A and B are shown apart, each in its own frame.
Chain A
Amino acid sequence: GDSVTQMEGPVTLSEEACLTINCTYTATGYPSLFWYVQYPGEGLQLLLKATKADDKGSNKGFEATYRKETTSFHLEKGSVQVSDSAVYFCALSTGGGNKLTFGTGTQLKVEL
C-alpha cells in the first residue's frame, strides 16, 4: 500500500539557518503530495502541495519539488524563524483527492 517516510526529529536549528526535511514516498499510481504543519496546540494546516511530477509547491518561504524519479518531496526553507517551530507532516493522496496517507511528522525547533 501507499506509505510516506520522513526523517526523524526533532530538528533543532538556529534562527536564519537553512532547513531541509526529507520525505520519500511509495504509491500506486501518481499521487498528489502535500506538506502540512501543526503548530503547538493547533490542528493541521496545509502548507503547500504539488500534484504532478516536477511541480514546485511554495508558501511562506517554504518550497518542495515533486521528484518522481527519486519519489521524493523534500521540504526546504532558506532562512527559518522561531515562529516556524512546529511539527511538519508529509502526505500523499491518490485517486484524485482520496484519503491522505501521512508520514510520522518531523518536529522542528528554531532557537534564537
Chain B
Amino acid sequence: EPEVTQTPSHQVTQMGQEVILRCVPISNHLYFYWYRQILGQKVEFLVSFYNNEISEKSEIFDDQFSVERPDGSNFTLKIRSTKLEDSAMYFCASRDSGLYEQYFGPGTRLTVT
C-alpha cells in the first residue's frame, strides 16, 4: 500500500541553525501539507501546497518557514533559523484530488538545543 515517507526520523540541531525536513508524498497525490505537534499538545496545521504554490498557511508559518517541491517526488519544509520553541514532531501529509482524507507520514522529531 502506498505511504507517505519522511526523513530523517529524528533531527537534533542547535538554535539558529537551518534545518530541512523531507517528505515523499504518495505518488499520485496533488495536495501536500505540513503539520506539527509539540509534545503533549494538539496537532497544528502549518501550510498546504498545491500546484507548486502555497494555498493556505497558519499564523505559525512565518518568514522563518518555507516549503518547496524541488522535484516530482519530494516535498520539503525549511526552517531558516531554528528556535527552541520549534522543537516538535513535524508531520507531512498528502491528499488525492477529489478525496477528502489526508494520509500522514510517520513524522520527524525535531529537537532544538
- Does the CB pair A46–B101 fall under 8 Å? yes
Contacts of A103 in B (CB 8 A): 42
- Does the CB pair B42–A102 fall under 8 Å? yes
- Which chain A residue has the least Cβ–Cβ distance from B102? A100
- Does the CB pair A32–B91 fall under 8 Å? no
A106 to chain B, nearest CB (A): 11
- Does the CB pair B101–A49 fall under 8 Å? yes
Contacts of A89 in B (CB 8 A): 42-43
- Does the CB pair A96–B45 fall under 8 Å? no
**Bound complex: CA A101 to CA B99 (Å):** 17
Within A51-79, the residues touching B (CB, 8 Å) are 51
**Bound complex: CA A97 to CA B99 (Å):** 7
A99 touching B104 in the complex, CB below 8 Å, given contacts A43-B91, A44-B91:
no
- Does the CB pair B42–A104 fall under 8 Å? yes
Q: Does B78 have its Cβ within 8 Å of any Cβ on chain A?
A: no
**Bound complex: CA A28 to CA B98 (Å):** 21
**Bound complex: CA A96 to CA B103 (Å):** 15
Residue of A42, A97, A102, A105 near B100 (CB, 8 A) is A97
**Bound complex: CA A80 to CA B81 (Å):** 45
* B93, B99, B100, B103, most chain A CB atoms within 10 A: B100
B56 to chain A, nearest CB (A): 6
**Bound complex: CA A44 to CA B93 (Å):** 9
Seen from chain B, the residues whose Cβ lies within 8 Å of a Cβ on chain A are 31, 33, 35, 41-45, 48, 55-56, 58, 91, 93, 95, 99-107
A-B contact pairs, 17 of them (CB 8 A): A34-B101, A42-B106, A43-B104, A43-B107, A45-B104, A46-B102, A46-B104, A89-B43, A97-B102, A98-B56, A99-B33, A99-B45, A99-B48, A99-B58, A101-B45, A102-B43, A104-B42
